[in-house]
Chains A and B, each alone.
Chain A
Amino acid sequence: NAGVTQTPKFRILKIGQSMTLQCAQDMNHNYMYWYRQDPGMGLKLIYYSVGAGITDKGEVPNGYNVSRSTTEDFPLRLELAAPSQTSVYFCASSSGAGDSNQPQHFGDGTRLSIL
Chain B
Amino acid sequence: GQQLNQSPQSMFIQEGEDVSMNCTSSSIFNTWLWYKQDPGEGPVLLIALYKAGELTSNGRLTAQFGTTRKDSFLNISASIPSDVGIYFCAGQLSDGGSQGNLIFGKGTKLSVKP
Which A residues fall within an 8 A CB radius of B?
4, 31, 33, 40-45, 48, 50, 56, 58-59, 90, 92, 94, 96-99, 101-109
| CB of B33 closer than 8 Å to a CB of A | yes
| One of A31, A56, A103, A109 near B41 (C-beta < 8 A) | A109
Contact: B33 with A103, CB < 8 Å?
yes
The 8 A CB mask of B77-114 against A (1 = contact, 0 = none) is: 00000000000101010101011111011110000000
Least distance between A57 CB and chain B CB atoms (Å): 11
Q: Pick the most buried of A42, A90, A108: most chain B CB atoms within 10 A of its CB.
A: A42
| One of A50, A56, A104, A108 near B102 (C-beta < 8 A) | A104
Nearest residue (CB) in A for B30 is A101
Residues of A within 8 A of B41 (CB): 108-109
Which B residues fall within an 8 A CB radius of A?
1, 4, 6, 30-31, 33, 35, 40-45, 48, 50, 88, 90, 92, 94, 96, 98-102, 104-107
The 25 sampled A-B contact pairs (Cβ below 8 Å) are A40-B107, A41-B107, A42-B4, A42-B105, A42-B106, A43-B88, A45-B101, A50-B99, A56-B99, A90-B42, A94-B100, A96-B100, A97-B94, A97-B98, A97-B100, A98-B99, A99-B94, A101-B30, A101-B50, A101-B92, A104-B33, A104-B100, A104-B102, A105-B45, A107-B42
Q: Pick the most buried of A33, A43, A56, A96: most chain B CB atoms within 10 A of its CB.
A: A43
Residues of A within 8 A of B88 (CB): 42-43
